[in-house]
Structure 1
């Protein structure tokens, strides 16, 4: 239990200290942000910072810090270390830099930011990559909530009925101004997510459950290697590329650059705390990794429901059902919205006119509704890998951004190099990848990370890159 509290303290201290280091490195100032200079009543809508914080938390979290933390806890309390340091050194830096870069570039999506700093080829790759990833998130989080709602209502309201309702909601949330639906209901569900985590954490502590101390031993019952599988499995609880698609949404609503630390870095730390609580609850409630892995065999939603119900009673059951229904829906609707904005940036289509929003929203939801009729689990298996690969690319983009402005770029270069090794090693050993042995995958992952680092050094530090984008005159004047 000492380990758990030590990691919790580190997360809090890290936010109070390291986030300020990140802020100093980036250098926010008093310039007017896009929310004030480009207000359109649709996506660029000024909102208060506390409200934006709760929206950002739900945007990036959903069930990610719960499901991912429970999966990561199957390796034992060593996951506490990854959640803590991954959040502070990786996820917080990633989310903050992408969000702030987006504010400096008129609320640009991550694909456009990538193109600005890694070149046109990477921009085209990221455009396609991002849209596919976001639509898959929308599809995956459509049928699950629909099935759960069907279980809780009369037979006449079957899963097809609720799927139609969910898709109609997605259309509305994707299409209407961000402050009309997302801005009104997300803060409430963000509070629910926090309350659920605090309730579970408090019950674990006060009802005498044993939270084991950290050990670096691999405690996974199936013997799955910690590196890099655990680092991929936790995802949203430590660092997630999906966050890079979400932060620009709030970058278009923040009214002060200096609030970026609280929103982008702060929401990531809050997610890390939630993940830490659920990881501890998983190993404590099921008395070890063996019991947890067995329980997860019945589905992650059932594990969440069981823990909440037995620890918190009927109230906990209600909170759990709100979580496993509302949280995935919140991930999906902002995924579709991010996809719309990515396409809008791609085709330079102004989203203030209603007609232009419909031009993108209708096809996106049409494709999403068609895909819900198929088994997308085979494709979805690649989500975890593609998610962390996106984080890797976003961090390298931020590294070039900082280098060009003569800022301390090592704050992003180190986690970018680390995530390069994680992503490449995973796809080499994973079942959905090349299924190579660790004897081959581990050295190859290290070599790939070294190669990425070498390209950065050669292109930026040594100044050998012919196609390295230059800082705009406007940015030079304000850097």
Structure 2
């Protein structure tokens, strides 16, 4: 539904003669924060998202074959990417570029206000209601799947059966308590931590995939190279981010790249040692 009305917004932008600004490689951030590594943490779910990886314990119970994982996970990433591009194009065209869109986003109305105004103007009353419902429903379902996946992952780790409701509540109750506590934290700060954590999850998952592919004797570079890149992003970001250690950008980026290189060398060394062990065993 959200994709459908997002595409209708896109159609409304084109039909009504709105102009979509040209792509620019200039740094248009209001506070002039550096593109590296900030952009790669800000743009998360539609690019590389560790949050999707956390859904594995639940999706493994829902799909009949591991081969369907590509459709379930990769398909979700593509869909989110399409949604993101549609709404970015609509926002830039409707508010005549980044400065206008930035003013609305930073105002009290926020992103939700921008979505409502665009939807109401381009889709009419009915379309705007459905679009706003999509904006509300998506976070609710996201929270639901996050709690469920966390519970299942924890249950798998400690080997705690989840066939009884009592067992589910024993694991879910502490997580609900933590989430209630987090509601007292300012949302923008919480959201930035979430952005970094989802990319950190992606980094760990990519390294895990690389290990699996090596053991399966398959092409591991498809996950190893992104893992190296995301390692540099995650380390650099948390060192210099306002919610992180606030270290100098040059130093942070240097340490981030060095850390990524170190992870890569350790990984290659593990592969080399594994090959030697396999040859010795043979």
Q: Aligned partners of 2:276 and 2:206: how far apart in 1?
A: 18
Which residue of structure 1 aligns with residue 136 of structure 2?
325
Verify the 8 A CA contact 1:459 1:465 in the aligned structure 2: no
Q: Aligned partners of 1:319 and 1:465: how far apart in 2?
A: 60
**Structure 2 residue corresponding to 1:399, chosen from 202, 210, 231:** 210
Secondary structure of the corresponding residue to residue 363 of structure 1: helix
Q: CA distance change for structure 1 residues 367 and 254 in 2, over 3 Å: closer, same or farther?
A: same
Q: Say whether residues 1:438 and 2:257 are aligned partners.
A: no
Shift of residue 397, structure 1, vs aligned partner: 0.5
Q: Say whether residues 1:452 and 2:266 are aligned partners.
A: no
Shift of residue 360, structure 1, vs aligned partner: 1.8
- Give the aligned length: 275
Q: Say whether residues 1:375 and 2:185 are aligned partners.
A: yes
Map 1:169-208 to 2 at 5 A: 192-208=1-17
Q: Aligned partners of 2:18 and 2:222: how far apart in 1?
A: 38
Q: Aligned partners of 1:405 and 1:449: how far apart in 2?
A: 24
Map 1:113-192 to 2 at 5 A: 192=1
Q: Say whether residues 1:315 and 2:126 are aligned partners.
A: yes
Q: CA distance change for structure 1 residues 315 and 208 in 2, over 3 Å: closer, same or farther?
A: same
Secondary structure of the corresponding residue to residue 237 of structure 1: coil
Does 1 or 2 have the higher relative contact order (CA < 8 Å, sep 6+)? 1
Shift of residue 464, structure 1, vs aligned partner: 8.9
Which residue of structure 2 aligns with residue 249 of structure 1?
58
Q: Say whether residues 1:265 and 2:66 are aligned partners.
A: no
Shift of residue 376, structure 1, vs aligned partner: 5.0
Secondary structure of the corresponding residue to residue 55 of structure 2: helix
Secondary structure of the corresponding residue to residue 224 of structure 1: coil
Question: Unaligned stretches of 5+ in structure 1?
Answer: 1-191, 471-479
Shift of residue 262, structure 1, vs aligned partner: 1.9
Question: Unaligned stretches of 5+ in structure 2?
Answer: none
Q: Aligned partners of 2:49 and 2:264: how far apart in 1?
A: 20
Which residue of structure 2 aligns with residue 353 of structure 1?
164
RMSD of aligned Cα (Å): 2.2
Q: Aligned partners of 1:229 and 1:363: how far apart in 2?
A: 32
The two structures have a TM-score, normalised by structure 1, of 0.54
Shift of residue 235, structure 1, vs aligned partner: 0.8
Which residue of structure 2 aligns with residue 227 of structure 1?
36
Verify the 8 A CA contact 1:221 1:289 in the aligned structure 2: no
Q: CA distance change for structure 1 residues 438 and 213 in 2, over 3 Å: closer, same or farther?
A: same
- Which stretch of structure 1 is more off in the superposition, 440-449 or 377-386? 377-386
Shift of residue 462, structure 1, vs aligned partner: 4.5
Q: Say whether residues 1:292 and 2:101 are aligned partners.
A: yes
Q: Aligned partners of 1:218 and 1:355: how far apart in 2?
A: 52
Q: CA distance change for structure 1 residues 415 and 465 in 2, over 3 Å: closer, same or farther?
A: farther
**Structure 1 residue corresponding to 2:116, chosen from 305, 316, 329:** 305
